[in-house]
Amino acid sequence: MVLVGCGGGSSDNGGADAAATSAAAALDTSAEAEAARSEIRNAIGLLFDRTHICVDIAQADQIPASTFVCQGVGEPDGSDFMQNAGRGNGTGYYDAGQDALAANFASAVETLKKYYEVDEGTGKFTNFPSMTYLYNTNESHKAIGEYLQSALAQVGIDMSLENQEWATFLNTRKAGDYSIARNGWIMDYTDPICMLDMWTSGSGNNDAQFGKGDHATIAAYDLDLTGLGYETKVEKGTWAETYDVLIDTINKESDQTKRFQLMHLAEDFIMSTGALCPLYYYTNPYLLNKDVEGFYVTPLGFSHFDKTTVGGAGDSISVTYGSEPDTLDPALNSAVDGATTLVHTFEGLARWKNEGDGKYSIEPACAQEMVEGVVNDDGTVTYTYTLRDGLTWSDGQPLTAKDFEFAWKRAASEELGADYGEMYSVVVGYPNELAVTALDDKTLEVTTTNLIAYWDELMAFPVFYPVREDVVSNESWATDPSTYICNGPYSITDWAHNSVITLTKREDYWDAANVSMNEIKWFLSDDSNTNLANWEKGDWHFIDEIPTNEMARVKEQYADQYVVAPYAGTYYVCWNVCGEILPAAQA
């Protein structure tokens, strides 16, 4: 999902739109030009001091990144996917350490000299096209942008900064109305494909625009899978003919050893383009009032307040983890803040369980149990779930298997165009003839293309939550408490837009006895200074954005309330591959 990552819609980003349109119109679509742009983008990435970004700017114990797929994702043999990526020696695709800075810088400059004129007196390039770096309003993102700007200025590259509020920023990136932008991705389930399949041509999360616009016609990519026993071999193919085919092959492969080999090839593929420039692996720092007990946050970034108490009481807790959400429709949300609300207002067949000591597992929620799939003669796999007794919607109507069938088919459909709809690509009949059927009110049957290693985790992800057909027929249903019908432990009882959302415990929720907090007040703010002030006054109990210039003081003064949780994700710079960066003489 989530993430921190991507959104949907159109943009009103005036100046950036014009620049992107102009750049796209002039794009040289030859294979040679694309190879040059890839080399240039990779060189730019070597100019950045990732340790400085982590230690001196972000200051939240982040880890410098040298791969796109983050740390902590296991291979079948128990090793870490990141440790085996790139050069295979634990340093990924480049050495992100301090000792390599000088060599990285020199290598980058030598590469750029192949394409741009340099003033030997100043050591600065004179004809690199100016760019605009887009980021969402946040002091830390701004500080990182300013550092990137200064690092490029040292070699004569002019990059201006532009910020947008969160929802607009997501839509601008998705529409490709930018040249270079800050980006980040938090895993939705703990499998590398979660960070790799987002770059297929049709993915709603493909902010880099791979296989879109002019990039769709570039025939510059090679794919040879014959060494792994497949017949696939493509020379000078398009993105759709190569990367999309590779991801499809991964999704159909049940042999996990071979599947992970293919996923390393996929990461090699995207990293070779230079369009994704990893800066650091995420951590999740937050401030939690000392009187709060029972709070936990999963490695996927979803904060859980349902089992909390404040000073031993479950009356009300006040928190903030983002500004006004772009959407609270489970099928359309694509941000961590929205997902955190959704895990309180909705529930799927499964949910995450806190085992303590930083360990988590998947347990049944709306389903009575997590069933094993039955392998069919053609290699497909059928799962048959039985719903719990007494499941209801927040308006008191019974929840049935038909609601799941409708919701899944809606989320997967081309008509809806959901960013996370592609998660259903592992289901037979995707996108418009999904093999999911309500056999009766309590029985749901679904058939997948093959054995899916992370299937149970998908059952706990918001895009697989149920919605009711008569409710979502009202397009604005997810913006008004009176029409926001949900099936989770809480309902929305008040929504002062751009101010606060109030969640109230549902007494008719099937597991209400294990919900200790009666009310959650979600304050809508992305102003980290305001958030910290409200937390220090005791008005808010939880914040997850701390001003960069206050981080050192906060760590020292509130050492017993400052927490750094693991976070499965990567913070990176994203290029728009439909933008031209070659000098006019070569473009």
Tens digit of each residue's pLDDT, the chain (587 residues)? 223 322 222 223 333 333 333 344 479 999 999 999 999 999 999 999 999 999 999 998 899 999 999 998 989 998 999 999 999 888 999 999 999 999 999 999 999 999 999 999 999 999 999 999 999 998 899 999 999 999 999 999 999 999 999 889 999 999 999 999 999 998 988 899 999 999 999 998 999 999 999 999 999 999 999 999 999 999 999 999 999 999 999 988 889 999 999 999 999 999 999 999 999 999 989 999 999 999 999 888 899 999 999 999 999 999 998 899 989 999 999 888 899 999 999 999 999 999 988 889 999 999 999 999 999 999 999 999 999 999 999 999 999 999 999 999 999 999 999 988 989 999 999 999 999 999 999 999 999 999 998 999 999 999 999 999 999 999 999 999 999 999 999 999 999 999 999 999 999 999 999 999 999 999 999 899 999 999 999 999 999 989 988 999 999 999 999 999 888 899 999 999 999 999 875 54
* E strand map for 204-330: 221-224, 233-237, 276-288, 292-293, 296-297, 303-304, 309-310, 317-320
User: In this structure, are residues 393 and 384 in contact, taking their beta carbons and an 8 Å threshold?
Assistant: no
Whether 318 and 463 share a structural domain = yes
Whether 277 and 337 share a structural domain = no
User: In this structure, are residues 463 and 331 in contact, taking their beta carbons and an 8 Å threshold?
Assistant: yes
Q: Which of 510, 526, 542 is the last residue of a domain?
A: 526
Whether 201 and 299 share a structural domain = no
The Cα 263–Cα 275 span in angstroms is: 18
H/E element, 360 = strand 359-364
Q: Containing domain of residue 53, as a range?
A: 14-216+273-281+570-575
Whether 277 and 326 share a structural domain = no
Whether 277 and 301 share a structural domain = no
Residue 137 located in a structural domain: yes
Whether 410 and 294 share a structural domain = yes
Whether 296 and 340 share a structural domain = yes
Grouping H, G, I as helix, E, B as strand and the rest as coil, residue 246 is helix
Whether 458 and 516 share a structural domain = yes
Q: 256 Cβ partners below 8 Å, 6+ apart?
A: 76, 453
- What integer pLDDT is reported at residue 166 of this predicted model? 87
Residue 246 located in a structural domain: no
Closest residue by Cα to residue 239 from 204, 203, 188: 203
Residue 488 has which token pair?
């989770």
> What torsion, rounded to 10 degrees, do the Cα atoms 235, 237, 242, 243 define?
130
Whether 299 and 180 share a structural domain = no
Residue 203 located in a structural domain: yes
Pairing type for strands 490-496 and 303-304 reads unpaired
Pairing type for strands 500-505 and 221-224 reads unpaired
Residue 268 located in a structural domain: no
64: buried, middle or exposed (CB in 10 Å: 19+, 13-18, 0-12)? buried
Grouping H, G, I as helix, E, B as strand and the rest as coil, residue 430 is coil
Q: Is the dihedral of CA 533, 536, 541, 544 positive or negative?
A: positive
* Single-letter code of the amino acid located at 87: R
The Cα 150–Cα 156 span in angstroms is: 10
Domain count across the chain: 2
For 174, phi and psi rounded to 5 degrees?
A: -60, -40
Whether 418 and 485 share a structural domain = yes
Q: CA-based diameter of the chain, in Å?
A: 78
Strand partners, 503: 492, 520
Residue 234 located in a structural domain: no
User: In this structure, are residues 438 and 402 in contact, taking their beta carbons and an 8 Å threshold?
Assistant: yes
Whether 73 and 150 share a structural domain = yes
Find the CATH number of the domain harbouring 124: 3.10.105.10
* Single-letter code of the amino acid located at 6: C
- What integer pLDDT is reported at residue 585 of this predicted model? 58
Residue 238 located in a structural domain: no
Whether 334 and 277 share a structural domain = no
* E strand map for 513-581: 519-523, 542-543, 562-575
Residue 562 located in a structural domain: no
Find the CATH number of the domain harbouring 321: 3.40.190.10
Residue 373 has which token pair?
């799939």
The Cα 287–Cα 531 span in angstroms is: 10
* E strand map for 473-512: 490-496, 500-505
- What integer pLDDT is reported at residue 586 of this predicted model? 56
Residues in the chain: 587
Residue 224 located in a structural domain: no
How far, in Å, are 51, 306, 546, 561 from residue 534 at the CA level? 31, 22, 12, 15
